[in-house]
Amino acid sequence: MPTSTINGRNVPIRMWAPMEEVDSNVIAQLKNVAALPWVAHHVAVMPDVHLGKGATVGSVIAMRGAVAPAAVGVDIGCGMAAVETSLTSRDLPDDLRRLRLAIEAAIPVGWHGHDRAAWQDAGDELRATGQALMDRYADLGASVNPGTVNCQIGTLGGGNHFIEVCLDTKDTVWLMLHSGSRNVGKTLAEHHMQIAQRLRHNQALEDRALAVFLAGTPQFDAYRRDLFWAQEYARFNRQLMLHLLIGVVRRFWPRVKLAPPISCHHNYVAEEVHYGDDLLVTRKGAIRAGRGELGIIPGSMGTKSYIVRGLGNPASFESASHGAGRRMSRTEARRRFNVKDLEQQTEGVECRKDPGVIDEAPKAYKNIDRVMAQQEDLVEIIAELKQIVCVKG
């Protein structure tokens, strides 16, 4: 159950993190969310909570007849995918650098994209999905060149996005990745945020960044259309990356077998029923953890990650954390750490160890084991993973 409860102006704030560990700026941001008149029941706050733009990362916000674009964030549909393989550590070479370089060659990172739409060569099912997705793109409010949107499907991006090869406690190899809707999701989000902030019903809000669209209006319908498209785009992006990643692995181990993949969003909106109400549930830095549902909770590029099964806790709107959560900003991490620190914190992991990823140093994140202990009533752990290869944008 929640470890802390704060009274909000409209609804209470229930936190799965000790009050003394939550920054005062985060509390202020959560109180602004809880003051919105459309928020239903309470705001649920996950143990990986930290300050976000507009809305708090690690928050679950349920609204009646309204949705706030900032509560989703700019990386619409960001999330995780993972698959268990038949490989074990005994199948792996001592030097994993060739494998990392092969992954980086197959899947563009950072600002880069494919030379052409990679889904067109990915088999009938993926080709049909990609074509249907792009056929709908012209109807959206995005200004990104369709060619760019097409060529960024199956690419990683930068920041905290990653591709990993991991071992679980049984010595089994897993493939795991984290990415979102790339530049098109950001463009769509910012477009709708600007529209929302100009609407009359948002003018009296304490924090205009939390401007909402109201159900039954043209603006709401346009945002819902673009939002759900971007969420599909993000999921397909991960699906295609996983296909490309598996292709790399098959070149090294042609007889590898794979379990069904696990996939989950952690920046998104879903239409759900809670406490008997039809609600628009926004999870920003949180995964759905309905009873029996599988999810993925990563740590950092030098710590453990977890495959979990949801317990369906109604108090969290059937949600759980999306990761360890940052304990310091990127600017602070770059100020505190150097390349030597990064090397020490990622010892034993085949990954970049250069100034470009210092802000992703493991100690910039909260302790993932403590985060998991704080949500024992939200999920059960079914696999514990530790990366041996990590690709960053």
CA distance 307 to 324: 13
Detail the DSSP E strand segments found in the chain.
4-6, 13-15, 39-50, 57-63, 66-67, 79-88, 162-168, 172-179, 213-214, 262-265, 267-274, 277-284, 286-288, 294-297, 304-310, 319-321, 350-351, 379-392
CA distance 92 to 387: 13
Task: Check if 161 is active-site.
Answer: no
Amino acid at 136: R
Q: Is 55 exposed, middle or buried (0-12, 13-18, 19+ CB in 10 A)?
A: buried
CA distance 230 to 185: 6
Q: Is 315 exposed, middle or buried (0-12, 13-18, 19+ CB in 10 A)?
A: middle
Tokens of 272: 């759900």
CA distance 232 to 202: 28
Instruction: Check if the beta carbon of residue 78 is closer than 8 Å to that of residue 267.
Output: yes
Tokens of 123: 């088999």
The residue annotated as part of the active site, out of 42, 192, 265, 322, is 322
CA distance 64 to 281: 9
Tokens of 52: 């976000």
CA distances from 214 to 62, 147, 196, 269 (A): 14, 33, 10, 14
- Tracing tokens 């085949």 back to the chain, one arrives at 350
Rg (CA), the chain: 20
Tokens of 298: 């990563």
Q: Which residues are catalytic?
A: 322
